[in-house]
Amino acid sequence: MDELSRRKMLAAGGTLGALGALSVAAPANASTLWTWSPKGSVAGAGAGADPKGVWDDEADQIVAEVIRGGHVDAVNTELRKWTKNGQQLSSALPSELRAFMERARALPSWADSGKLETAVDFNEKRGLYLGVTYGFASGMMSTVIPREARAVYYSKGGADMRDRITKTAKLGYDIGTANAYGDDGEMIVTCVKTRLAHAGVRHLLPQSPHWNKVADEAIPISQADMMVTWHSLPTTVMQNLKKWKVPIPANESEAFLHSWQLCAHMLGIKDEYIPNSWAEADSQAAQVLTPILAATPEGIKLADMLLNLATIVPGGPLRYVTKPILGALTRYVLGDEIANSLNIRRYPFWDTAFNVAWEPFIRIREGILELEDAPGIVQQVYWVFDEILRLAALLVLSGADFPISIEIPSMNNPDYPGGG
C-alpha cells in the first residue's frame, strides 16, 4: 500500500471529527459557573481560575507580532520544513518564535512511554470504530457547539470545508500512529502548529465585523473553548464505545486517555484543566459540553456542507456510503434533538437499520455474535455498515493534497469582505 493510501485509511481515526480538533469551541452560555476542581486534573492542583478567562498569552503575543509585521507567508514557508517531532527547527524563523516552539514541543514530565505503547495497540484494534465515532459523534457535534460553529464559519477555514477538514484530519491521523510522540513521529509538530494557528485566529477573528455581530465573546479559543473541543473528541468517543458495548481492557482505556491528555498539553491547555481520569473527564464534560449543544444558522450550514462532502462514485467502492446513510448515522449517534435542529431529514429505512442493527453488528465484529444468528436486518445491512467503517474517511480525503500543512492564518473568511 502506498503512503497516500495508508494515510487515507489511517485517517479513519479522525477525519470528520478533527474539524473540532483544530477549530474553536466554547460554551454557549458564557455565564456558566466553573466549579470543576483542579484536584481532578493531571496536575492535581491549580489556581482554579475560570478557563473562560484564560488564553495562551505567550503564543498569542508572538503570533500577533508575526501577523502585524507582515511575516506570515515567510514564517509559514519555514514551518512547512518542520515535519518530524525531533527535527531541528529552521534558523530562519524569528528568534522569539523559534525559542517558543522549542519550549512548546517538549513533552511534560508526566508523559508515560509505556502507556503510549499500549495506546498504539488500542488504536490498531479499534481504529475502524474510532473513525466513525470521531466523525459522527465528534465531527458533527462540532456544528452544534455555538461558538465553534460561528468561529469556523467566519474564519478562513470556513471558505473551503474540504481543505479545512483534510488539514484538521492530520491530528486524528497522527495521534493514532505508532510513533505519534516519538522523534520520528508528527503529533508534536501537528499540536504546536495548531497552537500557532489558534493564536492567529485569536488575533484575526475579532477583526471580523461578521463574527462580531453574532459572537458572545470578545476573544475566541479560551482554555474553556479548547476543553469543550477536547471533550467532543476522546470523552465523547469513549462514551459511545461504552454505549455500543465494545469490550475495552482497562489498561487500553487508560492508555487511550493518556495519549489525549498529552495532546491537550501540547495544544497549550494548562495541566490544571486536563482531567486525570475518565470519571473526571465525564464530570467536566457534563458541565462544559453537554448543556451548551445547540444549533445556530452557521452550524446548520456547516453540517450540510459536511454531509454533502459525500460525493459518490457510481459503481465504485464508495457506492454504499450515501448522504442518507451519513444522515441516519448522525441521527443515531447524536440523537433526534440534535439531528432535527440541524435540519437533517429522516430516512426511515436507515434510521431503523442503525437503531436495530448497529450494536448487533458491533458484536459480530467483536466475535460475540455469529452473523447467521443475527436478526435479518443485521444480515441485510452488515456489509454496508462494514463499508461505512472502512471508507467514511475517504469521502472527505478524496482529492486531498499531501503533505497536509497546518499554518498560521493571514485573514478571516475571504467570502465576507471586511473580515480582516
For the stretch 340-392, pLDDT in tens is 999 999 999 999 999 999 999 888 888 887 888 777 888 888 877 877 776 65
Q: Name residues whose C-beta falls within 8 Å of residue 113's C-beta, 6 or more positions apart in sequence.
A: none
Q: Give residue 28's pLDDT band: very low, low, confident or very high (50, 70, 90).
A: very low
Average of pLDDT values for 244-261?
96
Q: What is the pLDDT of residue 53?
A: 93
Residue 19 has pLDDT above 60, yes or no: no
For the chain, what is the mean pLDDT?
A: 84
Q: What is the pLDDT of residue 120?
A: 93
Cβ count near 103 (within 10 Å):
9
Residue of 186 and 391 predicted with greater confidence: 186
Q: What is the pLDDT of residue 8?
A: 43
Write the DSSP string, 236-287: HHHHHHHHTT----HHHHHHHHHHHHHHHHHTT--GGGSBSSHHHHHHHHHH
For the stretch 319-346, pLDDT in tens is 556 788 889 988 998 999 999 999 999 9
User: Counting runs of H as helices and runs of E as strands, what totals does the chain give?
Assistant: 19, 0
Q: What is the pLDDT of residue 390?
A: 62
Average of pLDDT values for 84-99?
98
Residue of 415 and 248 predicted with greater confidence: 248
Average of pLDDT values for 183-204?
96
Closest CA to 236 of 266, 277, 281, 288: 281
Residue 317 DSSP label: T
Q: Give residue 17's pLDDT band: very low, low, confident or very high (50, 70, 90).
A: very low
Residue 260 has pLDDT above 70, yes or no: yes
Q: What is the pLDDT of residue 156?
A: 79
Copy the grid coordinates of residue 194. 495548531
Q: What is the pLDDT of residue 79?
A: 97
Q: What is the pLDDT of residue 414?
A: 82
Q: What is the pLDDT of residue 376?
A: 82
Q: Which run of H or E residues covers position 115?
A: helix 113-132
Q: What is the pLDDT of residue 366?
A: 87
For the stretch 119-149, pLDDT in tens is 999 988 888 788 778 777 788 888 999 998 8
The Cα-based distances of 358 to 13, 336, 338, 372 in angstroms read 19, 16, 19, 16
Residue 238 has pLDDT above 70, yes or no: yes
Share of residues in the chain with pLDDT > 70 (%): 83
pTM for the whole structure: 0.88
Owner of C-alpha cell 436495530: 356
Q: What is the pLDDT of residue 341?
A: 94
Q: What is the pLDDT of residue 287?
A: 93
Give domain limits for the chain: 17-27+38-292, 297-397
Average of pLDDT values for 80-94?
97
Q: What is the pLDDT of residue 418?
A: 56
